[in-house]
Amino acid sequence: MEFEKDNSFFTGRIKSIGFAFKGAFKLITTEHSVMVQSSIALLLIFAGFVFEISREEWMMQILAFGLVLGIESLNTAVEKIADFIHPEFHNKIGFIKDIAAGAVLFAAFAAIAVGLMIYVPKFM
């Protein structure tokens, strides 16, 4: 099967958006870490309405969700590529996958800090 590139600006962008939605759907329906993170995001969106967080807090919360889910998506892509290239365990592949997972951890810590700054004062 040969892939023919769509050189038309408009239809090419529409196809790209379709591929992006397809990828997001695959992530949400197949990757357990993304399922958990998406569930937490939905829970905190609900909490945002309950606690009537400010516009600025909404912005920070949305950026935190996007950061974590975006980095997790890239981590998943790195893992899938690494497993495809070298299906057996290999120290260098393991190192690469650990670094990608570490990037998710950094994003998660930042998101947790944002969440704490938003919601801890609501309970004080």
Q: Are residues 72 and 103 in contact, defined by beta-carbon separation less than 8 angstroms?
A: no
Q: Where are the beta strands (DSSP E) in the chain?
A: none
pLDDT of residue 11: 85
pLDDT of residue 4: 64
Q: What is the mean pLDDT of the chain?
A: 93
> Sign (positive/negative) of CA torsion 54, 57, 61, 62?
positive
State pLDDT tens for residues 20-41. Answer: 999 999 999 999 999 999 999 9
Average pLDDT over residues 65-80: 96
Contacts of residue 117, Cβ cutoff 8 Å, sequence gap at least 6: 60
Task: Tell whether the model's pLDDT for residue 5 goes beyond 90.
Answer: no
H/E stretch holding 76 reads helix 55-85
Task: Tell whether the model's pLDDT for residue 122 goes beyond 80.
Answer: yes
